[in-house]
Structure 1
Amino acid sequence: MKKVLAKLTVGFGAVAMLAACGGNNDNGNDVNNGNNNNGETSSGDGDANVVLYSTMQSDGERGAFEEIVADFESENPGITIEANFPGGSYEDQLRVMMAADDLPDLFDTHGWSQLRYGDYTEDLADMDWVENLDPAMEQIIMDDEGKVYTYPLNQAQDGITYNVAILEEHGIEPPTTWDDFVAALETIRDEGDGTVTPLWIGGGDNWTLAQMVDQMLTPAFITDDNNDYSEELLDGSFDWSNYEWLAEEILALKENDLLNQDVLTAQFAQATEIMANNQAAFMFIVGSIGPDATEMNPDTQVGLLPTPAVHEGDDPSWIGGERFTFSVAENSEVKDEAKQFIEFLAQEENAQKMAEATNLSSALVNVEADTYYAEYYDRYSDLEIEPYFDRVYLPSGMWDVMANTTAELLAGGTPEQAANEMESEYHRLRDQ
């Protein structure tokens, strides 16, 4: 993990470079702005209302979490946890609150515990759960001074999901390089009867396009020693003509009938049914796609492989870091109660429950979670977890740029245009 640590140390030491990972749909509860707790305050002597915001969206995730909240409130009748799930509008709401320095008492840093929210969070280093934190997470949520910025309910290890039966039918071994991945897509296209899409992307929700790009930028420009542009990306000197390679590869997927024809209108919500009905071989989607597809069709098995290597001699890698988290707002008036709830969440039974509900590994080494993808994480346990590219190397706002430029590329643009737009927006946003 030394290589990753070195990169993150450089990234966190640089001027904060923040990326956006948002949407614009609102499917959450009614919200209560900030941590004013309706005028209530507490230091443990009376009733306390702890306002909480989370990015959880799926029914399974929220259901498990709400059960834990109910158990906590039952054991602590003087504390109420007011949970809010704003869905796609989460980031926009938190930005407004952050600008007013009025963040919720507990909030999800969704991958930005240090770079975006670091100045607004209470140090959690003195909490009991910290001694069980997975060392792989220390470099992500803890700084060189020892400040712990957030409690991670789980840790993300993103790669590519695949339909096990389809690969077996065509005699395809899970690919480890981009070239092998493309060859696998071509085999499915050539040997199939046209009912199976080699690579399915719900680009109507264009964050799915950004997800693919963000994952592939890491093996393209970071992990290979001979193609490591991390310093140039951090200091602003990166030559964005290098990006044309990735844009060309993405465009070739469409031109060679390796993507779903409706890539620009297909919706993310369709993914589970498409995978369950064996209509797609690969997706750049992890999370609940596996268990949800198997629940819909028990004969469907969804596998997981790390993000393929791009350069010869390089290894594939997991792309990840913190997924769902809770930080305590530095100016919260109910810090003790907020920390008390976090300690409750970190209890082994509750931590296991959340890891299994989200189908991700726990961030605590004392927790064994039986998750859907456990066998694949074990199979590739020797691979490093690289941080999400945009969280370290790109300025705030580039997530939307990746989504939009890729959509424009697939709608008739050129790799050169995509690279030029990425370059101009990268410099514009760095200068803000």
Structure 2
Amino acid sequence: MEVTTMFPTRPLRRTAAGATPHIYSSAGVAVVALSAGLALTGCSTGGGDDGTLNILIDNSEATGQLMQALVDAYTEANPDVEIELELRPGGSEGDNIVKTRLQTGDMPDLFFYNSGSLLQALAPDQTLVDLAGESYMDVVTDTFKDGVSAGDALYGVPVGHAVGGGVLYDLAAYEELGLEVPTTWDEFMANNQAILDAGGRAPVIQTYGTESAWTSQLFILADYYNVLAAEPDWAEAYTANEK
């Protein structure tokens, strides 16, 4: 499952001692707030020094509508706080922009990004703020925390919709071949082999056409976080042909 996630960049600079960013949850949606009415300035050199909170989001219509509604609601209740939204493209272009701006210190205070395996490529221990000690993390589910953690640190909060994925099974074919819905990868592959051996059907049908070829990565990407969590050095070992 992929959840729209907000991450705070580091290092934090505050307009006054003790001014701390807070992220409150309402109806399952996180909104950015600032304690004691103090505006948070840039969390990186790219942040606003004038007390404006800058947030980098993708340019999809759904994200824009979500964030504009949150910003409007919050600034109406807190007129002294100014929040500016900055748009970036999606896909690999947007991904490269996030990585480059983090490395050059030109990142807004907060930004939307993927939870899970893609987060680890941002070197979060060097570029993001650890939120593990914040009280609002107590209401965040452990399942979500798994996707925004590195070691004992937590780096993101849920801020929008969730996108889930799964496998649809042809139950008629399963009944015909005496198969049961698998609960492990080995069982899944064994069922696929049984369907292939029986002939007449493709074991797995996917949307690997030219317009949706990106979907071919989902199985691998979804599991890569689990692999990396269990074996942090797996990618290096694989690259060295040791796996």
Percentage of identical aligned residues: 16
**Residue 141 to residue 106, structure 1, CA distance change in 2 (3 Å):** same
Paired with 1:391 and 1:70, the residues of 2 have a C-alpha distance of 43
Paired with 2:231 and 2:84, the residues of 1 have a C-alpha distance of 30
Contact 2:56 2:111 in 1 (8 A): yes
Contact 1:175 1:184 in 2 (8 A): no
Paired with 1:137 and 1:213, the residues of 2 have a C-alpha distance of 19
Contact 1:114 1:149 in 2 (8 A): no
Paired with 1:133 and 1:94, the residues of 2 have a C-alpha distance of 25
Paired with 2:120 and 2:174, the residues of 1 have a C-alpha distance of 44
Contact 2:207 2:213 in 1 (8 A): no
**Residue 141 to residue 200, structure 1, CA distance change in 2 (3 Å):** closer
Instruction: Say whether 1:160 aligns with 2:160.
Output: no
Contact 1:54 1:85 in 2 (8 A): yes
After superposition, the C-alpha distances for 1:155-183 in whole angstroms (9 at most, x for unaligned) are 98976332x6xx14435553342111343
Instruction: Say whether 1:41 aligns with 2:47.
Output: no
Instruction: Say whether 1:91 aligns with 2:95.
Output: yes
**Residue 197 to residue 171, structure 1, CA distance change in 2 (3 Å):** closer
Contact 2:193 2:203 in 1 (8 A): no
| Residue equivalent to 2:136 | 129
- Please show how residues 371-390 of structure 1 align to structure 2 within 5 Å: 386=226
> Would you say how many aligned residue pairs link Structure 1 and Structure 2?
183
| Residue equivalent to 1:343 | none
Paired with 2:231 and 2:95, the residues of 1 have a C-alpha distance of 14
Paired with 1:391 and 1:210, the residues of 2 have a C-alpha distance of 20
**Residue 154 to residue 389, structure 1, CA distance change in 2 (3 Å):** farther
Instruction: Say whether 1:151 aligns with 2:160.
Output: no
Paired with 2:50 and 2:89, the residues of 1 have a C-alpha distance of 24
| Residue equivalent to 1:79 | 82
Q: Which amino acid in the other structure matches residue 150 of structure 1?
A: G
- Please give the secondary structure, in 2, of the residue aligned with 1:54: strand
Of 197, 201, 205, the residue aligned with 1:199 is: 205
Q: Which amino acid in the other structure matches residue 50 of structure 2?
A: T
| Residue equivalent to 2:217 | 210
Relative contact order, higher structure (CA 8 A, sep 6+):
1
Q: 1:82 Cα shift?
A: 0.7
Contact 2:207 2:215 in 1 (8 A): yes
| Residue equivalent to 1:45 | none
Paired with 1:185 and 1:156, the residues of 2 have a C-alpha distance of 34
Contact 1:156 1:320 in 2 (8 A): no
- Please give the secondary structure, in 2, of the residue aligned with 1:104: coil
**Residue 147 to residue 117, structure 1, CA distance change in 2 (3 Å):** closer
| Residue equivalent to 1:344 | none
| RMSD (Å), alpha carbons | 4.1
Q: 1:190 Cα shift?
A: 1.5
- Please show how residues 215-230 of structure 1 align to structure 2 within 5 Å: none
- Please give the secondary structure, in 2, of the residue aligned with 1:131: helix
Q: Which amino acid in the other structure matches residue 84 of structure 1?
A: L
After superposition, the C-alpha distances for 1:177-200 in whole angstroms (9 at most, x for unaligned) are 21113434676x716xxxx99412
- Please show how residues 300-311 of structure 1 align to structure 2 within 5 Å: none
- Please give the secondary structure, in 1, of the residue aligned with 2:200: helix
Contact 2:125 2:150 in 1 (8 A): no
Instruction: Say whether 1:120 aligns with 2:127.
Output: yes
**Residue 203 to residue 71, structure 1, CA distance change in 2 (3 Å):** same
**Residue 389 to residue 179, structure 1, CA distance change in 2 (3 Å):** farther
Instruction: Say whether 1:106 aligns with 2:135.
Output: no
**Residue 182 to residue 168, structure 1, CA distance change in 2 (3 Å):** same
**Residue 388 to residue 93, structure 1, CA distance change in 2 (3 Å):** same
After superposition, the C-alpha distances for 1:300-358 in whole angstroms (9 at most, x for unaligned) are xxxxxxxxxxxxxxxxxxx486xxxxxxxxxxxxxxxxxxxxxxxxxxxxxxxxxxxxx
Contact 1:73 1:81 in 2 (8 A): no
Contact 1:158 1:320 in 2 (8 A): no
Of 181, 203, 224, the residue aligned with 1:174 is: 181
Contact 1:51 1:81 in 2 (8 A): yes
Instruction: Determine which structure has the larger helix proportion and give its number.
Output: 1
Paired with 1:197 and 1:65, the residues of 2 have a C-alpha distance of 41
- Please give the secondary structure, in 1, of the residue aligned with 2:131: coil
- Please show how residues 19-418 of structure 1 align to structure 2 within 5 Å: 36-37=46-47, 40-42=49-51, 48=52, 50-54=53-57, 57=60, 59-60=61-62, 62-77=64-79, 78-88=81-91, 89-110=93-114, 111=116, 112-113=118-119, 116-142=123-149, 146-153=152-159, 160-162=166-168, 167-172=170-175, 173-176=180-183, 177=187, 178-184=189-195, 190=200, 198-202=204-208, 204=210, 206-214=213-221, 319=223, 386=226, 392=232, 393-394=234-235
Q: Which amino acid in the other structure matches residue 394 of structure 1?
A: A
Paired with 1:123 and 1:202, the residues of 2 have a C-alpha distance of 38
